[in-house]
Structure 1
Amino acid sequence: MDETTPSAHLNPLQRFGRDVKQVRLARKLTQKNLGRAAGYSEAYVSRVEAGKLLPRPSDKFAKGCDIAFGTGELFSDMLRRIDEGDHPSWFVPYLNLERKASRVLDYSTNLVSGILQTEEYARAIFRSSHPGEEAEVIEGKVAARLRRREVFELDTPPLLWAILNEACLRTVVGGADVMAEQLEYLVTVAASPHVKLQVMPFSAGAPAAHAKPFTVLRFTDSATVLYTETRVGGRMHDSARTVASALDDYDLLRAHALSPDRSLTLIKTVAKEYRA
């Protein structure tokens, strides 16, 4: 990154890296000193300062900077704002709750749930839905979507139970190779003890045909929340009656979906069809 590059022309990660470097130099610390204090290598710090660490610096690194610099939560907050800036404003409340949930119950009708998407699958979706955006903007959205996976790296990650309508497997996003990679990734993540996958086959009929996509977030110390989306944005629902109805719907979907083992068999079969 050129030191003379105007701030307006820097992307969020480059601005973050520039600010880390400026404060580091003001504190008379070397990259090696900062890396040691934050628990990372000198090379890691160098990549952060160059704005080249993708998808972004870790929360641990930002916290380490704040401790080393004595800046409170400045860099941690900057990193959080980068995350939020690459998501629609109406999605940020859901994102914050997703990180705190003990269980995430998701039903997807046409596209694989964002938290389970591969990089190329997500990129194809954003290119299609934002045809006029610059490549840099698209890449920011892709990186933000991939960062949602970090929730599974928490000390106590949530249990994700995802039911995918068969249409999610059959709707071609980005081409056959992208779809094959996406379905193979689903098989991989399904091996995690924190992920359960089921497929709602077309043959299930009415239960799948009438259900709209939705997500239920359950917490250990607070009320359950329902999240739904429309063309104009997302909405959180915490009414006891509304949430109870959503849970009843989810139980019905789960009962009509293929078992986890049969679901994986179908996913593998469709992946092979794409590879062929």
Structure 2
Amino acid sequence: MSSGDLLMRLYGRVDWSVSIEHPDWFQEYVDLEAISVGVRAWQDGTMYGLLQCERYARALFETGDAAGKSEEIEELTRARLARQSRFLVPDGPLLLVILDESAIRAVVGGPSVMRSQMEHLLRVAQLPNVIVHVLPFSHRRTLIKTAMVLLELPEGQRVLYSESLEQGHLSDSSATVAKYHRHYDQLRAESLSERDSLRLIADALEGFRDDEQRARRGRLAEEQLQRQRRRQLHRGSPRIPRPRPGS
């Protein structure tokens, strides 16, 4: 059965309360994700979409194709958060995510945004249906050139989704799905345990908090310097005598 036929069979089960549209090449995946009973994702470079906090998602869109288009950025951010709503709840579908260490180290939006993202990640990782592993730089041996998602659908079907530069690729070929499921299992075996992964995320959080404090002190120092310069300019300007009463 093709993924298109499967989508038509399951079309009526999708929660269509979210009317925000996605790019055409992404829409079929979003429709399947909306009815999935399990998601297994591998992500490097940036934070996986279903785990992004609002500030991180907005900052990411602000640097993408929508840069400078505030209305489009807000729409894309709402769409991303809407996709998360059925997963980030205690009785939600399984959400198992392996993050390359680069996803928690690469700075998006500055240290304040990253601090919010790490706090969010630690918080949602406490949900019983959410499992997060981190694959440290030093542990990676399995070579997968792009992020990927394995979806488990209500009737037991599994599909694979990945992206290239310009489009998404969706496959329900049993051989392809099995191949990348094995790769995924290898990546999970190479990753830190859940507990150690959360410790690494907590360490990253402390680093971003320190960076945020340094940035704040730097801004305060710059503001003080600017005020001192303005006072010096004021002192050095020629004095204009005030008129005396009755003159």
TM-score range, shorter chain: 0.7 to 0.9
2:164 is the alignment partner of 1:234:
no
Question: Residue 265 of structure 1 is aligned with which of 199, 204, 208?
Answer: 199
CA–CA separation in structure 2 for the residues paired with 1:273 and 1:178: 13
2:96 is the alignment partner of 1:164:
no
Q: Comparing 145-154 with 258-267, which one deviates more in the overlay?
A: 145-154
Question: Residue 187 of structure 1 is aligned with which of 96, 118, 122?
Answer: 122
- May I ask how many residue pairs the two structures share in their alignment? 197
CA–CA separation in structure 1 for the residues paired with 2:88 and 2:147: 26
Residue matched to 1:221: 155
2:182 is the alignment partner of 1:248:
yes
SS in 2 for 1:179: helix
TM-score of the pair, normalised by structure 1: 0.67
Over the residues paired in the alignment, what is the CA RMSD in angstroms?
A: 2.0
Deviation per residue, 1:77-118 (Å, 9 max, x gap)? 6x54x32x2x21211111111121111000001111111101
Deviation at 1:210, TM superposition (A): 4.2
Residue matched to 1:152: 87
Residue matched to 1:128: 63
8 Å CA contact 2:67–2:73 kept in 1: the answer is no
2:39 is the alignment partner of 1:104:
yes
Question: Residue 177 of structure 1 is aligned with which of 112, 120, 123?
Answer: 112
Residue matched to 1:38: none
Instruction: Report sequence identity in percent.
Output: 37
Change (3 A) 1:155 1:93: farther
User: Which consecutive unaligned segments of at least 5 residues does structure 1 have?
Assistant: 1-75
- Structure with greater Cα Rg: 2
Change (3 A) 1:99 1:216: same
| Superposition map of 1:37-116 within 5 A | 79-80=17-18, 82-83=19-20, 85=21, 87-116=22-51
Change (3 A) 1:150 1:132: closer
8 Å CA contact 2:86–2:93 kept in 1: the answer is yes
Deviation at 1:150, TM superposition (A): 1.5
CA–CA separation in structure 2 for the residues paired with 1:162 and 1:132: 28
**After TM superposition, which residue ranges in structure 1, 4 or more long, deviate above 3 angstroms?**
153-156
User: Which consecutive unaligned segments of at least 5 residues does structure 2 have?
Assistant: 1-14, 211-247
Which structure carries more relative contact order (alpha carbon 8 Å, separation 6+)? 2
CA–CA separation in structure 2 for the residues paired with 1:98 and 1:219: 8
Change (3 A) 1:118 1:132: closer
CA–CA separation in structure 1 for the residues paired with 2:37 and 2:167: 24
Residue matched to 2:134: 199
8 Å CA contact 2:40–2:150 kept in 1: the answer is yes
Deviation per residue, 1:207-244 (Å, 9 max, x gap)? 2x544210000124142000001111111111111000
Deviation per residue, 1:150-189 (Å, 9 max, x gap)? 1137896210000000000110000001011101111000
Deviation per residue, 1:242-267 (Å, 9 max, x gap)? 00001000000000000000000000
CA–CA separation in structure 1 for the residues paired with 2:201 and 2:67: 33
TM-score of the pair, normalised by structure 2: 0.75
Q: Comparing 127-136 with 198-207, which one deviates more in the overlay?
A: 127-136
